[in-house]
Structure 1
Amino acid sequence: MLKYVNTGIVFQEIPDEVTLAINISNCPCRCPGCHSYYLWEDIGLPLDTEAIDAFVEKFGTDITCISFMGGDAEPKAVNQLALYIREVHPEFKVAWYSGKTVISSAINKRDFDYIKIGPFIKHLGPLKDPKTNQRLYKIKEDGEMEDVTSWFWKK
């Protein structure tokens, strides 16, 4: 079962969006230098459709996007929640931050607007560093992925 530890309204995870970031626990990636190592443990509250509805009720007028931060231990469950948001709360964009290097076969890319992949590698930096290994993709209507990582870089 997916569990979340906390949430936050953030402005830098998805460019041009006010995003509700849902921090999911039980991360199998365990990246050295991870700033959210507390998410390695299997802790928190159930992340299900009822939790999504409660987040929308609480934050719905303040956000434009809902992002799953983690969930790599259960990508199918992440995808089911993304599809739920698409169907029940279509006013929001949907994003997923994965620490894996490839997108799980359990994921239907069309259920997302954005997908970030890549483990955090300290010497390569986060998305805002041009030498990062991480990539943020915008998912087009046809399911193709457009690399938009450069949106984070200062011009």
Structure 2
Amino acid sequence: MLKYVNTGIVFQEIPDEVTLAINISNCPCHCPGCHSYYLWDDIGLPLDTHAIDAFVDKFGTDITCISFMGGDADPKAVNQLALYIHEEHPEFKVAWYSGKTIISSVINKRDFDYIKIGPFIKHLGPLKNPKTNQRLYRQKDDGTFEDITSRFWRQ
């Protein structure tokens, strides 16, 4: 079962979106230098369709996107929630930040509008560093994904 520890409305995680970031616990990645190491433990409240509905009721039109921050311990459950959002709350985009380098085969990528992959590697930095190993992809209208990581780099 997925559990979340906290949420926040963020403006820089997904370009051009006001995003509700849901921090999911029980992270199996354990990246050295992780700024959210408290998410390594299996703690928090259940993250299910009832929680999603409560977030939608609470934040409504204040957000345009819902992002799952983690969930690599149960990617199938993350995918089920993404599908639920697209079916029951189609006004929202759905994003997923995975610490893995490859998306699990149980994931239907078309259920996500954005997918970020890659563990945090301190000397390569986060998305805003052009040397980062992490990548953010956006689904295009034809269902393919394009790398939009460079949108985080200052020109």
TM-score past 0.5 threshold? yes
Distance (whole Å) between structure 1 residues aligned to residue 143 and residue 73 of structure 2: 23
Superposition TM-score, scaled by structure 1 size: 0.99
- Report the equivalent of 1:65: 65
Q: Please, which runs of 5 or more residues in structure 2 have no aligned partner?
A: none
Distance (whole Å) between structure 2 residues aligned to residue 140 and residue 25 of structure 1: 30
Alignment deviations for residues 34-81 of structure 1 (CA, whole Å, 9 cap, x no partner): 000000000000000000000000011210000000000000000000
- Report the equivalent of 2:81: 81
The structural deviation recorded for 1:142 is 3.5
Amino acid at match of 1:15: P
- Report the equivalent of 2:53: 53
Amino acid at match of 1:127: L
Distance (whole Å) between structure 1 residues aligned to residue 145 and residue 91 of structure 2: 21
The structural deviation recorded for 1:141 is 3.6
2:134 aligned with 1:134, yes or no?
Answer: yes
Distance (whole Å) between structure 1 residues aligned to residue 110 and residue 117 of structure 2: 16
The structural deviation recorded for 1:144 is 1.5
Amino acid at match of 2:88: V
Question: What secondary structure, in the 3-state scheme, does the structure 1 residue paired with 2:87 have?
Answer: helix
Runs of 4+ in 1 over 4 A off after TM superposition: none
Amino acid at match of 1:76: K
- Percent identity, aligned pairs only? 88
Question: What secondary structure, in the 3-state scheme, does the structure 2 residue paired with 1:38 have?
Answer: helix
Alignment deviations for residues 114-152 of structure 1 (CA, whole Å, 9 cap, x no partner): 000000000000000000000000012433210000010
Cα pair 1:110 1:141 within 8 Å, conserved: no
Superposition TM-score, scaled by structure 2 size: 0.99
CA RMSD of aligned residues (A): 0.6
Cα pair 1:110 1:142 within 8 Å, conserved: no
Question: What secondary structure, in the 3-state scheme, does the structure 2 residue paired with 1:123 have?
Answer: coil
**Number of residue pairs matched?**
155
